[in-house]
Structure 1
Amino acid sequence: MKIDLGCGAHKREGFIGVDISPECGADVVHDLRTTPWPFADSSVDEAYCSHFFEHLTGAQRVDFMAELYRVLKPGALATMITPYWSSMGAMQDPTHQWPPVGEGSYYYFNKAWRDQYGLSHYGIHCDFDLEFSFRLDPALAQRPPQEQQFAARFYVNAVQEMTAVLKRQ
């Protein structure tokens, strides 16, 4: 089973769309802020979530990730796409919640990272391996890699979007 979380009107082909709005054509109408989600433990082969996660508060993000961990099969992947924390896209939508999403937003959901920084008291129990990729502003796309890396690190709006691929341990 593959699920598209917060699919809106753009459900990914081959995925079961999950959204709060019955008007968008979701296969499963469910508020993803409400747990448990209507899926059994370790029943999902793959999850996809594009431009939904940033609409959750910090506390809701923790609950979302716990549910994602619960429903994914061990070794399953979840692809999360959000505006990058330093982009205008992260700030302009008044329905986006604070804080904006960056790589560090996901580190808390990796057990080794929590252990390294002494954060086991946070009560977060999921364990995802993490990989990140970035969509640069088109003006940087043809620049040499060294310039792209410098811009991504130091310039606002250089990175427009981040994709995090999480692998459930």
Structure 2
Amino acid sequence: MTSIEIGGGTLVQPGWINLDSRNGVGEWARMAQDTPWPTGDNSVDALRASHVMEHIPAGQERIDVMNEAHRVLRPGGVFEVIVPILNNPLTWHAIADPTHVSFWVLESFHYFDGHFAANADYGIRLWNTLELEVRGGFECHWKGTPR
């Protein structure tokens, strides 16, 4: 079983590969948006990105990471993303950290699961959303599997 923690820093669970520019090992010492990742198509059982996607610039780099996750996950594999979100009432968690370069709301995930569509083709590979919820009033938990 192959499981990858994206941007895990020093908090990677035993048995997981750490795709991290500072704490990854060998070919895995890279930023998430440095694609393709060093693994084959449909070769990964689970991916997790906890408090890292907000450090990846919005736009093409965010799309590239989501598409690369889609490429490497096996059918039925799950990608878990945890991000601070802009919520109502407004919380400070998403915007206070000066290293956050992209912001998320619940609806951000709907561009990736096809519930919202842009008026152009951005090459987004679609996901099935398994879970989408806010915890603690500021933290979004999303789980998806490739369509």
**Which stretch shifts more, 121-130 or 75-84?**
121-130
The one-letter code matched in structure 1 to 2:14 is E
Cα deviation for residue 16 of structure 1 reads 1.0
2:49 corresponds in structure 1 to: 49
Task: Please give the alpha-carbon distance, in whole angstroms, between the structure 1 residues aligned to 2:55 and 2:7.
Answer: 10
Structure 1 counterpart of 2:135, one-letter code: R
Superposed, which structure 2 residues align to 1:20-169 within 5 Å?
A: 20-21=21-22, 24=23, 26-27=24-25, 28-59=28-59, 60-86=61-87, 87-98=91-102, 100-111=103-114, 113-114=115-116, 117=117, 119=118, 121-130=120-129, 131-136=131-136, 159-169=137-147
**TM-score normalised over the length of structure 1:** 0.75
Q: Which residue identity is paired with 1:9?
A: T
TM-score (norm 2): 0.86
**Which deviations, in whole Å up to 9, do the C-alpha atoms of 1:23-82 show, x marking residues without a partner?**
x3x342122121111111111111011010001111211111111111111221011011
SS in 2 for 1:73: strand
- AA paired with 2:94? A
SS at the partner of 1:62?
A: helix
Number of aligned positions between the proteins:
139
Cα deviation digits, residues 105-140 of structure 1 (max 9, x gap): 1111124x25xx4x373232412111212222xxxx
CA contact under 8 A between 1:41 and 1:71: conserved in structure 2?
yes
Aligned-CA RMSD value: 1.6
Runs of 4+ in 1 over 3 A off after TM superposition: none
Higher helix share: 1
> Mind listing any 5+ residue stretches in structure 1 that lack a counterpart?
137-158
Identity of aligned residues (%): 29
> Whole-Å Cα distance in 2 between the matches of residues 66 and 6 of structure 1?
17
The question of whether the paired residues in 1 share the 8 Å contact of 2:63 and 2:124 is answered with: no
